[in-house]
Amino acid sequence: MNDNTDPNIVVIGGGTGSFTVLSGLKKYTRNITALVNMLDDGGSTGILRDELGVLPPGDVRQCLVALSDSSRLRELFNYRFSEGSFRGHSFGNIFLSTVERMTSSFEEAVSVASNVLNIQGRVLPITTDNSKLTLKRSDGTIIKNQYEIGHLDFEGQMRPNIALDPIAYITPKGLASIMQADLVVIAPGNLYGSLAPALVVEGVGDALASTRAKIAYVCNLVTKPRQTDGFMVHNYANEIERFAGHRVLDYVIFNTDEPAKNLANKYMREGEKIVEFDLEVLEQATYKAIGLPLIAKTPGKYNTSDALASERSLIRHDYSILAKELVGLI
């Protein structure tokens, strides 16, 4: 461990998965880095990216907000306009895009926002290369764009071929953060729309394979209809390592709880199923599998002005239980 009091923890992912993990971990350390997927092109982020030519701000904003201790500033950056020409946009997305246009540097925009929010830790784009996510179907058809792939019907195709066009490279700061970490956490999230875009960035897999840090993957709570139907915990872990290109996982943390019936009926999306696990398979894995009751008692909430609200899962991890377990791995 690099520091006796503040373990050095890196969280890889984007969106609500990283938000949840960061919200819990910031209670244990100030030495925390969020490495954020930069392929988002849906909702407010997609519009700003297309119209202004900026890098995607949405997932970065969520990580910044998670690490801020100011409730009013968190509310400000998450505030989403419900009418007018800004309808659907969050203030934080507009702020980040504005500073990027002013400075011609997305990293500078993140730095300015970090200072304004007085965040605990730091948020870094995993790459600053302007790239698009691609998926190659079994018939050779190429599908482009993160949003489309994240919501695509895979039609039974397993282990889809995911890549970036053009190739994107990990930033020097991102690489250094992984190499210097005590623990790297791969956050839960949309497997093909959020995690794959971060893990297939050139240099990420090699860094995970060569760092001395322990590497933990937090498995999703629910399956993604038409993409991960029938997936069990080990299937998710296998895909994470396939994207990384190496056997990198030391730990896989998964949920053993069932949601209350009224919670499941009210908040689980059509086709979502709780991710199941096979203990016999997990006992044979190269990583240590840790099962915990991880379903939060209070479901997630979304602003009705959020263009993607109807597509987001509301079943959430209990970040307090999760963070305590993660810190205990160091």
Residue 121 contacts residue 67 (beta carbons within 8 Å)? yes
Using alpha carbons, select from 282, 281, 303 the residue that is nearest to residue 291. 282
Give the up-direction half-sphere exposure of residue 95: CA atoms within 13 A in the CB hemisphere: 23
288, β-bridge pairs: 251
Task: Give 43-66 pLDDT, tens digit per residue.
Answer: 776 677 667 777 778 899 999 999
Q: Residue 327: its pLDDT value, please? A: 97
Q: Residue 46: its pLDDT value, please? A: 65
pTM, entire model: 0.91
Tell me what the pLDDT averaged over the chain comes to. Answer: 89
**Architecture, CATH, for domain 9-39+130-328:** 3-Layer(aba) Sandwich (3.40)
- CA torsion sign, 125 to 127 to 128 to 131? negative
- CA 276, CA 289: separation in Å to the nearest integer? 13
Q: Residue 2: its pLDDT value, please? A: 47
- CA 37, CA 56: separation in Å to the nearest integer? 9
The CA–CA distances, whole Å, from 123 to 10, 191, 259, 292 equal: 10, 21, 32, 28
Q: Quick one: what percent of the chain has pLDDT higher than 70?
A: 92
Using alpha carbons, select from 170, 233, 216, 224 the residue that is nearest to residue 194. 224
Q: Residue 300: its pLDDT value, please? A: 56
Low-confidence winner among 105-109, 227-231, 265-269 (lowest mean pLDDT): 265-269
The CA–CA distances, whole Å, from 48 to 19, 89, 102, 127, 245 equal: 21, 9, 15, 18, 32
Q: Where are the domains of the chain?
A: 9-39+130-328
Mean pLDDT, to the nearest integer, of 326-330? 96
Structure tokens at 272: 């979502």
